[in-house]
Amino acid sequence: MTSEAVRLESIYKTYDNAVTALDGVTASFPAGSFTAVMGPSGSGKSTLLQCAAGLDAPTAGQVFIDGEELSAADDTAMTKFRRRRVGFVFQDYNLLPSLTVEQNVMLPLRLDGSRLPKPGLSVGGARRADRRRSRSVLERLGLGDRLGELPERLSGGQRQRVAVARALVSDPAVVFADEPTGALDMRSAREVLALLRTVVHEYGRTVVMVTHDPVAAAYADSVLFLADGRLAGSLSAPTADAVADRLAHLGDARGIGAAA
């Protein structure tokens, strides 16, 4: 495996309304790292995540996931690739309300055609394997006793943990999280952030998280700052104070920290 989970090469994104959301971003996210992406509202954070995750296509530039180019693929290939190699956690959890915790987590495995019954494995056998896998992830994330619950019976923090389990179940090269704690109270937010750290530091996964909260960013190993669709610096071993300070001076610091 390459040591880069994600590499972005000169990514540009201009929307139909002629807004340039990304203006030439080149960045690399090492495997096994936890990176927060920060910047003022409208600086391109969500667009960056969507393009990196293959949920949207950049206007120009290349995205590599685990060394494999993503943007070159056609729509169908991109969808397949994304399902296998990328996990995504949304602010509002995006769980299907009519499915149980376990069914929600199994869903990506069901949708991934490449995992459908292999020779010698019946549909039932494949299903059992998917179930074992989903349960094991849910148990590791402390949700083993919630398998049959519907999402509406869970707290926000528990729902987001289910969403993290769903993002991990297909063993992706990287999990992208867009404001994963944006809808949570402080205690639940801290639990989810601690979980993301565990996912990185104990299970060796790679997480890239957009947040506007310096306290949340301080859970990451490093922070990448964006301003006006461009990289505007980075910070290693961030503290909430250092992040807040950098954010407050983003305009002046643009470009300087990028070399750090």
Smallest separation, CB 176 to ligand ADP (Å): 13
230 binding ligand ADP? (CB under 6 A) = no
47 binding ligand ADP? (CB under 6 A) = yes
Listing from the earlier edge strand, what are the strands of the sheet with 207-210? 86-89, 174-178, 207-210, 34-38, 222-227, 230-236
Residue type, 74: D
Listing from the earlier edge strand, what are the strands of the sheet with 4-14? 20-30, 4-14, 60-65, 68-69
Q: What burial letters (b/e) apply to 124-135, b meaning 16+ CB within 10 Å?
A: eebeeebbebbb
Tell which residue, 242, 260, 241, 243, has the closest CA to residue 209: 243
76 binding ligand ADP? (CB under 6 A) = no
Smallest separation, CB 226 to ligand ADP (Å): 7
- Number of helices followed by number of strands (H, E) in the chain: 9, 10
When the beta carbons of 39 and 61 are compared against ligand ADP, the nearer one is 39
What are the residues whose beta carbons fall under 8 Å from the beta carbon of 42, sequence distance 6 or more?
Answer: none
When the beta carbons of 41 and 122 are compared against ligand ADP, the nearer one is 41
Smallest separation, CB 56 to ligand ADP (Å): 8
The count of residues interacting with ligand ADP (CB under 6 A) is 12
Smallest separation, CB 47 to ligand ADP (Å): 3
Q: What burial letters (b/e) apply to 181-193, b meaning 16+ CB within 10 Å?
A: bbbbeeebbbbbb
92 binding ligand ADP? (CB under 6 A) = no
172 binding ligand ADP? (CB under 6 A) = no
Say which residue the tokens 């290693």 belong to. 236
Q: Which stretch binds ligand ADP (CB under 6 A): 40-48, 134-142, 143-151, 185-193?
A: 40-48
Contact call for residues 86 and 174 (beta carbons, < 8 A): yes
19 binding ligand ADP? (CB under 6 A) = yes
21 binding ligand ADP? (CB under 6 A) = yes
Q: Which stretch binds ligand ADP (CB under 6 A): 2-10, 45-53, 192-200, 240-248?
A: 45-53
Cβ–Cβ contacts within 10 Å for residue 2, how many? 13
When the beta carbons of 47 and 206 are compared against ligand ADP, the nearer one is 47
39 binding ligand ADP? (CB under 6 A) = yes
Smallest separation, CB 65 to ligand ADP (Å): 20
Q: Which stretch binds ligand ADP (CB under 6 A): 11-19, 76-84, 104-112, 159-167?
A: 11-19
Binding site for ligand ADP (CB under 6 A): 15, 17, 19, 21, 39, 41-47
